[in-house]
Structure 1
């Protein structure tokens, strides 16, 4: 069930914005705002993004959370960022490709609509329509058997608290840049995420939640490499990774002591 209509009406009144004011901001007729709030029509994606910005609310919360009845979600400011996406002439979301060379610029341009529209765009079949996707080209061999040049397609994560330990994510961070790692969520304990490489030659490291600008859960990958089954090493299990993390944390405590 979508709560878009009721949430729009509730938040608009809460902020003291009239239907006419909102219509002017969206460049539509006032009657269209009335139709949105009555559930007779729904705004297009570009208008929906503008509404989220004006009402200071995340898109997922606006659509899927009954704000008037349940109150606002207890989320941090970074979770209210409006995701910049590109659409085609039929108003369908494109998958934006962030190549290796574009990774550095992406840190500064991920919120810039003009910058994002200059990056390559494409569509893929068989992906759920309930998520927004972005593609990142891997550099380095820290996540073998995925080799450098592999394209990882991630689904946007609205809130860092939704990150599930043991799964792989592309994180856009202020400190480490754009990284693809297996992530363990310790935000509720110490405000940090623990990042582990599938290639055991790379040491795990921590990232503060406040330093994460975007998170994308890996859903698919594209590669021109066809691995030889005889060359494949047995991947580390989640239990193995958990033991590694415990050992590292014990070592860190000893060093601090």
Structure 2
């Protein structure tokens, strides 16, 4: 297999000059010595520390993939401005790959279900038609047109009051930056991390993930650690919802009184 050409030193010099920065200025902004920056920019450091590469990519608002593998000097001014405005396709998830799907005998997309026993293989098989063909499939009525849907099992109690062990039906998100802040969704992460069902906020370089259950802290992941995002459509569970408590009723009454008072004031 042909080795991937790396353009880190060329891109670093190009981006620094584009911003009219000296090596001293950029090194100070990045929190590294000028000697280290010079070694990376000149190619004397053949294998830079990954943390330094990520730091440089974040500073210039690029994905590490772009910084390393795209010769930025060959791009036109319009494309460079698009990258600098945060529309890097590696960052948004847009057009990184074509989503593999299966269809039924009427040539309509199936809804695939990823059972718990198949979760471990999903990260390597998510784009493999043979892997998807082996998953359980079903049709679901009244789904919005033009979307691709898949169902994922959840584990844990981080999204209570949605019952633990629910199945989440979700729509594939092609461009991650089109997600509204606070959208619910399944995030497929690289490595050994589990699927996570969270409230998602898209940041400049990654995602902020929030649990409804206050026992769980919010945390952030880089775009480079994300394989797929599936936006929540509905959940399905054998467990009945929790009954409305007296506290819920009190809160509801307070809200109604507040709305009524605001209307009186407006009149």
| Structure 1 and Structure 2 fold alike (TM over 0.5) | yes
Residue 223 (structure 1) aligns with:
237
User: Quick check: 1:177 aligned with 2:177?
Assistant: no
Distance of aligned partners of 1:91 and 1:202 in 2 relative to their CA distance in 1, 3 Å threshold: same
Residue 200 (structure 1) aligns with:
214
**106-115 vs 175-184, which deviates more?**
175-184
Q: 1:212 aligns with which of 226, 231, 237?
A: 226
Q: How many residue pairs get matched?
A: 162
Q: Between Structure 1 and Structure 2, whose CA radius of gyration is higher?
A: 2
> How far, CA to CA, are the matches of 2:224 and 2:160 in structure 1?
28
Query: Which sections of structure 2, spanning at least 5 residues, go unmatched?
Result: 1-77, 249-267
TM-score, normalized by length of structure 1?
Answer: 0.58
Deviations 1:143-183 (A, max 9, x none): 11122321111111111111211111101111533111011
Residue 16 (structure 2) aligns with:
none
Residue 150 (structure 2) aligns with:
134
> How far, CA to CA, are the matches of 2:184 and 2:151 in structure 1?
14
Residue 160 (structure 1) aligns with:
176
> How far, CA to CA, are the matches of 1:179 and 1:96 in structure 2?
18
> How far, CA to CA, are the matches of 1:220 and 1:232 in structure 2?
27
> How far, CA to CA, are the matches of 1:232 and 1:84 in structure 2?
48
- 8 Å CA contact 2:151, 2:170 repeated in 1: yes
> How far, CA to CA, are the matches of 1:129 and 1:101 in structure 2?
30
> How far, CA to CA, are the matches of 2:165 and 2:177 in structure 1?
30
> How far, CA to CA, are the matches of 1:232 and 1:166 in structure 2?
28
Residue 79 (structure 1) aligns with:
94
> How far, CA to CA, are the matches of 2:246 and 2:163 in structure 1?
13
Aligned-pair CA distance for 1:102 = 1.6
TM-score, normalized by length of structure 2?
Answer: 0.56
Provide the secondary structure at the position in 1 that maps to 2:186: strand
- 8 Å CA contact 1:142, 1:197 repeated in 2: yes
Query: Which sections of structure 1, spanning at least 5 residues, go unmatched?
Result: 1-69, 235-257
> How far, CA to CA, are the matches of 1:106 and 1:232 in structure 2?
43
- RMSD of Structure 2 on Structure 1 (CA): 2.3
Aligned-pair CA distance for 1:232 = 9.4
